[in-house]
Chains A and B, each alone.
Chain A
Amino acid sequence: MLFQSNQLPGALEHEEGSSAAQPVMNQPSLKQKLLRLGMGAMVSFLMVQSCFAAQHVISLTAEETRDDGFGNKLLAYKMVSHHIDGHNVTDRYSPDATIPGPTIELTEGDKVKISIFNAIPNNNVAVAGISKQVSIHVHGVHYNILSDGTLKVINQVDDEGAGAGLVQTYSVYEYEWDVAPGTAGTWAYHDHNFETHNGSEHRGLFGAIIVNPVGGPTFAREYVLYLGDDAFWGMEIVGHTKKQTKHGPNPTLSAKAGTRVRFHLIALGTDIHTFRLNGYQWFDPGTNNLISQVAIGPLEKHVFSVKALQDAQYVDTNLTNRLLGMRGKFDVQ
């Protein structure tokens, strides 16, 4: 399977909506293949599976955002649409490009088709030696080499992103993820292609997926906190509506007293951090050990739940991060 659409050699010269912009599927999709097979047994097997395993169709853009007032901008992902088995759940996300990007909730067994469109200005014109692509490189779940979200110089196959790459230009690039059993957990996704083969995750192009086990516990609130080099970048998700709010640096997180809430920590950048939620303890993931602080390095994840009991501060205790004010409130009412 190839996932990229709009395969265009060299610079992109077409207008939106012109015939050149129509997706050109190089090979039939999985769905198409299955229809051609037309094997009843196979289809019914899939339908049984689909009772639990959802099909996600997701579309993201990458945009410029957060001008510092002096013309310097960050980059961010924005949710354009998210359908689960055809059901539109886009309204759970911010309508804006946010840092961190949209948190995508999935369940073990799900399948995902996720496409990226590059809305950063001037990125579809090839520049020798510099990639203008944005990509989605995801951690944790299964995907084949065409969904790695890296440049050909790394994956040896293709420039797997949207925009002008080093050897290939795509206006939209689509990835397929197999949220296979065994991938439960919280994982980062981030750019791997913008400007260099390392990408621009440190300029804002990062988000998280939460893969829940089938029948796993639910939480009143979920908090995604990315530990950057000078701030926590976070968001709050209401458990039952999955509505995502409070995006940005060092957000004040809220919870109702007595409810169970879950923190999803991921670090990113160059610093290694020490995280504390003052006054709280939690289980070190995958163990029965209670801990009150954790060392976390870039792109590690650390997920824990606590019962919200009292107001607290979440902090990074490392010298420079602490002095820069890397902390926020955990507001329990």
Chain B
Amino acid sequence: MFNKIENKHLIDKDSAMNNKNSSGTRKQALMILFFVATFLTSAIAFAAVHSFNLTATTLPNGQLAYALGANEAVIPGPALFVKEGDTLKVSLKNDTSAAVSFKVPGLSVANPAKVNPGQTKNFTVQASKAGTYVYHGDMNGKELLGLFGALVVDKATGPVDRYVEDNGKIVSVSRNNIDKQFVLFMVGSTFWGTEVAADGTQKPLWANPHPGAVENDIVRFHILSIGPGHTFHLHAHRWLKKDTQEVIDTKLLAEGTDTHSFTIKAGTGVGAGAWQYHCHLIAHMEAGMHGNFKVEALGGTGTSVVGASPYGRILLGPKDEPGLVTFEVSDEPASWFRSARGDAIVELSKPSATGSPLQGADIKTKSLDVIVPGSSVNFIMSDTNGVHTISSLLWPSGAEHMPYDQSSAYRGGGFVTLHTPGLYVFTCKVHPYMFGAVIVDDPATEGLDLGNPARNFTIDLVTGIKDLPTSSDLAVRLLKTFFIATAPDNWQDYSSGLWNVRFPTLPVRISGAPFGNVQDGGLAAPLSILNVNNQALTVGAAPATPGVGEVWVNTQFEKTAGKYKPGTSTVVDTTTWKVKRKVALPQINNNNPHNMWSSRDQSVIYQTQWFDNKFSMIDRETGSLIKNITVGYSPSHVVTLPTNDDITIAVNGENGVMVIPAGTTNVTKMMPTQAQGHISANPHGHWISADGKKIVTPNINTDDIGIYGANGGIQARTPTGNNAPGAHPIAIGMMPDSSKIYAANLLHHSMTVLNGNNGALLKTINLIADYNPIDGTFADNDANGEIAVGVLPIQSPVSPDGKAVVVAATGGQIVIIDTATDEIVKMLPCDPGCHGANFGAKAGGGYYAYVTTKFGNRLTVVDIDPDNNGNISDAAIAGYVSLVDDVNTAKDDNVSGLPGFGGQGVLAVPNVYNGWVQNVPEIWALTDKQRSPIGK
């Protein structure tokens, strides 16, 4: 109980001072003696040694926290109060499963070693300079899960702070003037609070609390931050900026660790009220980073309202108080929104987990958690180098606080309290296959509620669909997509020969009578009735006719031994259909390589790192790194200008297209994708017209297609998806003569066709017209002669000869559109998570479309016109190529997991698109027609 020790220090020294005013002569004489003694030995007398026994432990929701002595582990960690010159002896026991340390930026810590799980180590900290300091566990981001606390070092003598009176007077404050203190840690987009009473007693206020005080209380705030930066603002109060005479009401807390302590007189000049405090970064405000400072009128209690607690009402939570589950936002494949206790849930739900309350639940995903109504969800971007949004994809019909969203991508986290029972799925708008799900379960219903019990268990979707029955085929498909995307065990590994998909055995409550694939169990059936068991998987034969050159595939999820971020490039030799090379780039910790383009002479591969702020240049022939360049956050696609070979990079997490002039490695400018002050467009998969005059971007945040000049300037902004909310245009294809633009709308399941000159809307092609979302039946509803569906379309290039659009649809389809009619002419099968598509030359003439999938590990090769007669209605799959390496594969690192998975960007070398192919060196045997795809 260090508080007691701390108070004792105070009492020892201060009682001497206080007694002076109230005692007799004899006591005064004693006091004088005491002062003389302390003066003579001042340095020694005032420099205390404090011993703290801390234990780092794991909380019921999977977050980490420090406990002091035998006390409950808390976030933030116990606030440590010492004086300048004191020494802290910290004994740290590690009861977590990862190595921790004890770091205090700004102060020197002896023995800064790591403490391995189960070990105890001692640290000595010299409190050499007054100030407020963050202490933390130094775990490469994991400390943001709760291993952080405040160390307050006050001056050994004299006032500790000042406050501003209602009449502007500045008043000094000593420790015994202070009525209460609040520690508020700004982490991600959440405040974590502790209240410290005048007697030193500490009380955890948990996440986003409402600290309380009575008017005229002297309240000292300690604001601290760890991770991305913030600004702290408290309504209607002013204070002095530390070490200055400047009166402020908002203070920057810079990235890394930062602190700001100040004192106020509660309600001075403004009176009682629920005064909001919040981070003033717009995205963090939108993400829920706020609470109220409750100043009560004289006579009130000034009691604080405690926020959401990691011990509270969540699945298996031990305490009857508002609870909290936390998701780590991660660059790790499948675990993009990983419950802090995701690993534990997977282990506890195994059939072999004897004694576990979840034994046999068979939960394969780490991205699902369960809470009780009124509890909250916390997100923390602690394991990612990119920017993200945390956005609702679906929620129980009519649910409070939905949809949850932010107006731009950012670094931080999120916080939302959920009251309405049902399933909530969150995604990132920048990386729309990142999924996290929370079931808010009403304990009174049978099975876990998937929809709102008050509205027949229906859900609403972000695209404007309301009251969708959870028994519908669409709802079931969305559920299956979630459980496949977030669990690699459920992916199609062709190297294993078998496919198994396992859903939890937990019973769920859905709408009305069971439908579609849900057959068993009446209204509450276990999800596991959807399981796929031991389905045979064979790669299939390679195409009979070779291609020309190489195909580079961004196997974005493949893990290698020499780095901790995922992703490689897999190079396929199209003359042999073998994987000739893996490019992992361990020396730069290559992070989620997403899309590529090549230099004019095809010697350099340009590579975006989508979950990072890096862009790399790779020597194509050797696979070696040329340069790793810092660009904007979450760069998605790269295309060169056919006119001058300048590099253009769509900065998906921000608001423009960056330019690196040909032959250089420096970004010289960023062309904005929106007018100044307008909502950030967040462009994803752009394209450039063959004449190099127009840059066309799909703007995922504003749901439109932007057309820009080669040197910037906005020429058109055309809304997509028939103005449905959240259509999410994601990739562009263009006719070789630049006459038309094609854009895939991911969440609207449609293709938008625009006039290539002025951006006028020509047509919206519905890719799910033939699908009945309720009963799951297929019929030729659009009367185009084909039953064809493309669910969640992504890349959609136009063939270099301008005949066909090939659409890779995440739902597992390849849709072929005839550009002469803009009608669907064919649907071909694809693996789950079908994503990338791009064209390369077929040997002897014609084109292959190379199609990649995220949750499978083979490449699909489509021949858009096998008989080469110009009619593409016979488009067919020419063959498949495994993307798993073999003994003959050259590589710069060893594959350690998820072999060949995560297929996204794909690039054929040579680049055979009109405008670029004309500059391809003669080293490749292209036909005359291939070198002049639409004539000279």
Contacts and interface: CB of A to CB of B under 8 A. Distances in A.
Secondary structure of the A contact surface, majority rule: loop
A295 B254 contact: yes
A301 interface: yes
A145 B655 contact: no
Interface stretch (A11-19, A62-70, A116-124): A62-70
B230 interface: yes
Contacts of B166: 142, 180, 182
Nearest to B653: A320
A162 B305 CA distance: 30
A230 interface: yes
Nearest to B411: A270
Interface in A166-219: 178, 180-185, 187, 196, 198, 201-204
A49 interface: no
Interface in B247-285: 247-255, 269-276, 280-285
Contacts of B231: 267, 272, 297-300
B248 A301 contact: yes
A296 B284 CA distance: 16
B8 interface: no
B532 interface: no
A276 B233 CA distance: 24
Contact of B169 (A155, A182, A297): A182
B276 A300 contact: no
B280 A272 contact: no
A74 interface: yes
Interface residues of A, number: 62
A102 interface: no
B518 to A, nearest CB: 32
A295 B658 contact: no
A324 interface: yes
A234 to B, nearest CB: 12
Interface string A257-283: 000000000011110100000000000
A301 B245 CA distance: 14
A285 B241 CA distance: 10
A194 to B, nearest CB: 12
B44 interface: no
B589 to A, nearest CB: 20
B265 to A, nearest CB: 11
Contacts of A269: 281-282
Contacts of B245: 286-287
A148 B273 contact: yes
B714 A299 contact: no
Interface in B148-198: 164-169
Contacts of B716: 70
Contacts of A69: 675, 714
B285 A198 contact: yes
A156 B252 CA distance: 27
Contacts of A201: 282
B777 interface: no
A5 to B, nearest CB: 21
Contacts of B244: 284-287
A320 B632 contact: yes
Given A72-B702, A272-B252, 12 more contacts: A66-B675, A139-B249, A142-B236, A144-B273, A145-B236, A182-B247, A185-B246, A198-B286, A230-B680, A231-B677, A286-B244, A325-B669
Instruction: List the 5 closest A-B pairs by CB distance, nearest first.
Output: A182-B168, A286-B246, A286-B244, A145-B273, A181-B168
14 contacts: A68-B678, A72-B717, A140-B249, A145-B272, A157-B273, A178-B269, A182-B166, A198-B282, A202-B282, A203-B679, A269-B281, A269-B282, A297-B229, A297-B280
Interface of A: 66, 68-70, 72, 74, 99, 108, 137, 139-140, 142-145, 148, 150, 154-157, 178, 180-185, 187, 196, 198, 201-204, 228-231, 233, 249, 267-270, 272, 284-287, 295-301, 319-320, 323-325
Interface of B: 164-169, 229-231, 233, 235-236, 238, 240-241, 243-255, 269-276, 280-286, 290, 292, 407-408, 410, 630, 632-633, 651, 654-656, 658, 667-670, 672, 674-680, 702, 704, 714, 716-717
